Amino acid sequence: MASAKSFVFVELLDEGIASLLYCLRAILSDIKQTTSIHITLRGPYKTDAILGFLAGIDNDAANEPILISGVGKFSIGSRKVVYLKAHSDTIQRLLFKPDFPKKRYGSNPHITIYEGENHTKADAVYDFLKKEQMYFLCKKYQLVAHRTRQLSLPFESELPINEASFDYLIKLGKVKEGILKRAEALGSRFS
């Protein structure tokens, strides 16, 4: 069995944003996710040395809002990933992924919504997210250590899949009403 790997996540704490993205990921992704809605900031590392990095970061200093806007996709072998782009100077400054060096891959902080091997579905999810034109700022987040095979769904695992949990985003015009019904219709095309 492979040894556990350590990461640093930027875990989104805004319940409305995290609920919306959790619901979309639960409906659309082919791979069941066991982590909270997050941006991978650092890792993977084979040791817990990452904890030293966290100890040196002041969570209060990382209060810059994260802009979640835009859609992207990439492939890792046969696996496709579709994501929402995350923009923040702090994240750009702290981002370090040894498996994806910036010089070769650029800097690509993101929140995964779809992961799987169905390329047609990945393209459909990409088109769906582009059409939805989501755009919002997340002001509540924290840096956390994560180890593979560690469950980290603090409140999400009990969330109902409905729009009530992110209604304020709809009222602000950041998300279009009926997004989950449209996502479910898309997902059912590939079940």
Residue 179 has pLDDT above 90, yes or no: yes
Q: Please tell me whether residue 62 adopts helix, strand or coil conformation.
A: coil
Q: Please tell me whether residue 78 adopts helix, strand or coil conformation.
A: coil
Residue 49 has pLDDT above 80, yes or no: no
> Residue 55: what pLDDT?
60
Q: For the chain, give every domain's residue range.
A: 6-188
Please state the rounded mean pLDDT for residues 135-160. Answer: 70
Burial tier of 28 (Cβ tally within 10 Å: 0-12, 13-18, 19+): buried
- CA–CA separation, 152 and 37 (whole Å): 9
CATH architecture of 6-188: Alpha-Beta Complex (3.90)
Sheet containing 110-116: order of strands: 110-116, 79-87, 66-76, 135-138
Q: What is the dihedral of CA 123, 128, 129, 133, to 10 degrees?
A: 140
Higher pLDDT, 13 or 154: 13
- Angle between helix axes 119-132 and 179-188 (nearest 10 degrees) is 170
Residues counted in the chain: 191
Higher pLDDT, 62 or 13: 13
Residue 4 has pLDDT above 80, yes or no: no
> Residue 155: what pLDDT?
45
Give tens-digit pLDDT for 91-135: 888 887 877 777 777 778 999 999 999 999 999 999 999 999 999
Q: Is residue 128 within 8 Å of residue 183, measured between CB atoms?
A: yes
pLDDT, the chain, mean:
85
- CA–CA separation, 188 and 28 (whole Å): 9
